[in-house]
Structure 1
Amino acid sequence: MSKLRKNLESSKLDRRLFLRGAATAGLSVFASGALAQPVINDILAAPRRGNWNDQFDARASGGEKVASNQPIMSLATAGYVQNAIGYYSNIVSQGGWPNVPGGAKLQLGVTDPAVSALRKRLMISGDLPESAGLSNAFDTYVDAAVKRFQSRHGLPADGVMGQFTYAAMNVSAQVRLDQLHINLQRLNELANVSDPRFVMVNIPAAQIEAVENGRVMQRHTAIVGKIDRQTPLLVSKIHEVILNPYWTAPKSIIQKDIIPLMRKDPTYLTRNKIRLYDQQGQEVQPETVNWTTDEAVKLMFRQDPGKINAMSSTKINFHNAHAVYMHDTPQKTLFNNLMRFDSSGCVRVQNVRDLDVWLLKNTPGWDRQTIEATIKSGVNTPIQVADPVPVHFIYVTAWSTGDGVVHFRDDIYERDGASELALGTNT
């Protein structure tokens, strides 16, 4: 867990900064302690909760997983989001939820006045049952509720109130309601998927779903495009899986990354087994290139297959105008980062070999054993997928999988229109 926290602290994107505007947005009728409990009771007892009723409360105390095999791209999910809008509309009409004072490292066993505000906040969002009561003690009920909240917001579910949990928690109820409305429009456009099998990449969640017959068969953590090299929205079909791929560097990476590196370290290409080829296909020696100019952009930079290859074991191809693809990576530790927006537009896939097996399940001769043996051989092996699998790159920052579970993610590419969810550029 300490390693994970280090990753959080060293994250390039400080969620506390870009959510800083939300720190005061939650101040409402809860400023009066005498009014707090009646307002909570009104919200929890509101008739408009409908079928959600006690599911938010009774299930929260167990700290159960909030994951589901319900695909994000489905009519059911769109329906659940509509229900969530009703629930969050009621929260907003009752005054929202209280701001949780930051600064204190709240966790199991701590007693602090801020825990009382935390309890109110978690009760209203349905993460903590009303029966847990109001006190200053961070007990097992609060621990389970914080973990549930963290899971719903794509945070490490460690039960510790750190800066990122505070930031997500202090986004106002109105902003969350608006976020649900915006994403319902997106989901309605995506819901009518009739394909029996498809792959979905949800960019702001940095997550992949492999869906079959209306159920999520696999989920994969992903790494997607940086703010200035965004992963595009697209629809295509996966037609090829390449084991032990060559990697050909795009011009943007040659210009922005490789040329500056060669100016600092002339051995960079040789050490990384990257070969240069001219337009006639003839290999060019790095020492013959003038690296003080950009003339190298005219050359092809191709990395040999192997463990240090930028795509490692796998490249997954699908036709698209953006020249992006999905792939493995030798930098496995990056999947542990909270902010996984670190690529140049392509999508890196954790545990990609599981996805390989699923994609090739109907391609004769390519079971798991054969795939593993081929990867071990190190031989570049393109495989045509017998039944090309549809792939969707989407942008959804809020959704619900039923049972009162509503998920939110940061608006990393600033497409939701709320400053509280966008990346802050100023301190």
Structure 2
Amino acid sequence: MKILRHILVLPVIFFAVLSADGESVTSWIRKKVENLAAQPTLNDSIKLFCLPTLQKQYQEHFYTPFWSSDVRIDELMSLIRHCDVDGLQPTDYHLKILDSLARKAGNENAATRDILLTDAFILLSSHLLNGKIDPQTITPRWNISPVDDRIIRFLIELPYVRVGDFYRSIIPQSHLYEGLRYQLKKYREIDKQGGWETIPSGKILKPGNDDSRISLVRKRLLSTGEYDGPEPEQPDFYDDQLSEAVILFQRNHGLEALGTIGPQTLAEMNTPASERIRQIEVNMERIRWLPESFPDYYILINIPDYMLFVYDHHIPVGEHKVIVGRTYRKTPIFHSTLQYLVFNPTWTIPPNILKYDILPEAQKDSGYLAERNIQVFESNGTKLKPEKVNFASADASGYTYRQLPGDQNALGVVKFVFPNPYNVFLHDTPSKRLFNRVRRTFSSGCIRVERPIELAQYLLMEQPEWTSRKIDKTIESRKTQVVRFNRKPEVFLVYLTAWENDDGQLQFRDDIYSRDEPIYKELKSSPDESN
């Protein structure tokens, strides 16, 4: 059927191309595309971004125009004009010169316009599919090569596929992306209307207080939807309904949700709508970096949220607080697959922790290692007595330091291993109290997980020999045991500072590693174009 449709449409294209006066549009396209081999700019001045693909596709299709239909041109131009709904900039996609060419007659201008429409389409499609910014280098993708096969297939089938349908098929399909698109529109409307009034600082506000700032708090929460009640008879009184709205706001911003309004809550309330828009746009870009669809079974760890979620058949089946890397020992972002766990793990101390944490303490206290059940080995495996080691010597940093299983072991009673180049894994911790903190950046890069035995029980659920009783007895033995998973979840470490949760509540988190601003700067950058 597709072949038949191609045959039926060819006479229309042939007529449209050759019925124009003078040199045909096809001839002009051939000249211009062939000239690109010697001079990689169109008309000697207009930069193209998808040059290899563009040349190849025009050659393979005998230089016939891809954009011979006014309907398809209008659809693409509309998509370019409104790509800001995805946090992108219309001016990045030849918008100005395409608008000027629309007002010019002649086959040469038609050829230039067709080439620019093709280049804009490939660039915009690639940005929607993979992001405008390369997450590895945090630089914009202006030279697009290679190109996703779906883009090429669309160009080939362009006469009978609507641009809007293609666009809807390539934008991220996750609820995370759709939620942020909705919230971006909402916050832009708020910003257009002037945003919200700044709430002055002052004493901590608590339910039951009378304060002139209370009416401002109510208006602030009304604008973003946390408060949806009527204007009370006493607008300056902090009533129960407002308290519930404040608690919701605090939860939505990763704050301690007590209902009291102190400096941190005020700072979040006073963050301008324009800054929240920037945050939303940055995180839409991050979502474009993620896989188009997640597997049935996976673990998602959002670093700024300090949370781990287990999904089975796309349904959330468990959530755990986590502790992530300090700001100077950042937990990396990557994707892997969970392979096995280790009960009663030993801990071989990494070089950085050894250098900055362990050796300085051992120099001050000769009993430091013994108290923590840490053994010292030479490179040949010979065990050394800690009291005989000169920890201030250069030799000390060359030894292997291994902490045995036990109550003080830094990895706790279980660790979860997924191969990665950063030597990052999930593990238990003896420092349980730290999970009560709101900001949980205390690790050296690995991820400490709350209730790890519960997580292990779920992950081993389809291995019936590993009953709760057997897990408990294994831990009590203090013997190290490796258990490989029969069913292995994929693991995604992500960095989202804005997203919409399952309840439709927009979530904001602190940019703990200062990663938002560089992305926003590049997201709003434009190529050097002379058009």
- Candidates 155, 161, 169, aligned match of 2:261: 161
Q: Could you tell me whether the CA contact under 8 Å between 2:180 and 2:280 is conserved in 1?
A: yes
- Candidates 321, 327, 331, aligned match of 2:431: 331
- Quick one: distance in 2 between partners of 1:276 and 1:220? 34
Number of corresponding residues? 348
Match of 1:188 in 2: 288
SS at match of 2:310: strand
Match of 2:98 in 1: none
1:5-84 aligned at under 5 Å gives the runs 75-84=174-183
Runs of 4+ in 1 over 4 A off after TM superposition: none
Match of 1:69 in 2: none
- Quick one: distance in 2 between partners of 1:159 and 1:252? 41
Q: Could you tell me whether the CA contact under 8 Å between 1:326 and 1:349 is conserved in 2?
A: yes
Match of 1:254 in 2: 354
Match of 1:228 in 2: 328
Give the structure-1-normalised TM-score: 0.78
- Candidates 177, 200, 218, aligned match of 1:119: 218
Match of 2:500 in 1: 400
Report the CA distance shift for 1:403/1:355 in structure 2 as closer, same or farther (over 3 A): closer
CA shift at 1:280, angstroms?
1.1
List per-residue Cα deviations over 1:66-118 (Å, max 9, x = no partner).
Answer: xxxxxxx9711211111111111111111111212222210110000111111
The letter for the 1-side match of 2:310 is: A
CA shift at 1:193, angstroms?
3.0
Q: Could you tell me whether the CA contact under 8 Å between 2:299 and 2:491 is conserved in 1?
A: yes
Match of 2:187 in 1: 88
Match of 2:201 in 1: 102
CA shift at 1:368, angstroms?
2.4
1:384 maps to 2:484: yes
CA shift at 1:403, angstroms?
4.5
Report the CA distance shift for 1:403/1:362 in structure 2 as closer, same or farther (over 3 A): closer
Q: Could you tell me whether the CA contact under 8 Å between 1:255 and 1:294 is conserved in 2?
A: no
Which protein, 1 or 2, shows the higher relative CO under an 8 Å CA cutoff with sep ≥ 6? Answer: 1
- Quick one: distance in 1 between partners of 2:355 and 2:332? 21
Match of 2:523 in 1: none
Normalized per residue, the structure richer in strand is 1
The letter for the 1-side match of 2:447 is: V
Unaligned runs of at least 5 residues, structure 1: 1-72, 420-427
Report the CA distance shift for 1:282/1:94 in structure 2 as closer, same or farther (over 3 A): same
- Candidates 408, 417, 436, aligned match of 1:317: 417
Give the structure-2-normalised TM-score: 0.63
- Quick one: distance in 2 between partners of 1:107 and 1:132? 19
SS at match of 1:417: helix
CA shift at 1:364, angstroms?
4.4
- Quick one: distance in 2 between partners of 1:333 and 1:171? 31
- Quick one: distance in 1 between partners of 2:173 and 2:478? 39
- Candidates 128, 147, 171, aligned match of 2:271: 171
RMSD: 1.8
The letter for the 2-side match of 1:93 is: K
1:328-367 aligned at under 5 Å gives the runs 328-367=428-467
SS at match of 2:489: strand
- Quick one: distance in 2 between partners of 1:132 and 1:318? 53
List per-residue Cα deviations over 1:361-403 (Å, max 9, x = no partner).
Answer: 2234113232122112222111111122211111100000254
Report the CA distance shift for 1:239/1:418 in structure 2 as closer, same or farther (over 3 A): closer
Match of 2:345 in 1: 245
- Quick one: distance in 1 between partners of 2:188 and 2:346? 52
Report the CA distance shift for 1:215/1:191 in structure 2 as closer, same or farther (over 3 A): farther
1:261-276 aligned at under 5 Å gives the runs 261-276=361-376
Q: Could you tell me whether the CA contact under 8 Å between 1:84 and 1:404 is conserved in 2?
A: no
- Quick one: distance in 2 between partners of 1:89 and 1:382? 52
- Quick one: distance in 2 between partners of 1:293 and 1:94? 66
CA shift at 1:339, angstroms?
1.4
List per-residue Cα deviations over 1:298-354 (Å, max 9, x = no partner).
Answer: 111111101111011111111110111110000000011121001100000011111
Match of 1:141 in 2: 241
- Quick one: distance in 1 between partners of 2:222 and 2:322? 32
1:197 maps to 2:297: yes
Q: Could you tell me whether the CA contact under 8 Å between 2:229 and 2:241 is conserved in 1?
A: no
Q: Could you tell me whether the CA contact under 8 Å between 1:201 and 1:208 is conserved in 2?
A: yes
- Candidates 306, 318, 326, aligned match of 1:218: 318
Structure with the greater alpha carbon radius of gyration: 2
Q: Could you tell me whether the CA contact under 8 Å between 2:410 and 2:430 is conserved in 1?
A: yes
The letter for the 2-side match of 1:268 is: Y
List per-residue Cα deviations over 1:277-316 (Å, max 9, x = no partner).
Answer: 1111111111222222343221111111011110111111
Q: Could you tell me whether the CA contact under 8 Å between 1:75 and 1:191 is conserved in 2?
A: no
Match of 2:525 in 1: none
Q: Could you tell me whether the CA contact under 8 Å between 2:212 and 2:236 is conserved in 1?
A: yes
1:300 maps to 2:409: no
List per-residue Cα deviations over 1:127-179 (Å, max 9, x = no partner).
Answer: 11151447111001110000000111111211011222122222111111110
- Quick one: distance in 1 between partners of 2:332 and 2:263? 30
- Quick one: distance in 1 between partners of 2:235 and 2:202? 19
Report the CA distance shift for 1:265/1:331 in structure 2 as closer, same or farther (over 3 A): same
- Quick one: distance in 2 between partners of 1:94 and 1:368? 57
- Quick one: distance in 1 between partners of 2:503 and 2:475? 41
Report the CA distance shift for 1:367/1:279 in structure 2 as closer, same or farther (over 3 A): same
- Candidates 513, 517, 527, aligned match of 1:417: 517
Q: Could you tell me whether the CA contact under 8 Å between 2:367 and 2:387 is conserved in 1?
A: no
- Quick one: distance in 2 between partners of 1:347 and 1:105? 34
The farther-off stretch of 166-175 and 288-297 is 288-297
The letter for the 1-side match of 2:230 is: S
List per-residue Cα deviations over 1:193-248 (Å, max 9, x = no partner).
Answer: 34111111111111111111112111111100001100011111110100111111
- Quick one: distance in 2 between partners of 1:149 and 1:178? 19
SS at match of 1:245: coil
The letter for the 2-side match of 1:171 is: T
- Quick one: distance in 2 between partners of 1:370 and 1:80? 43
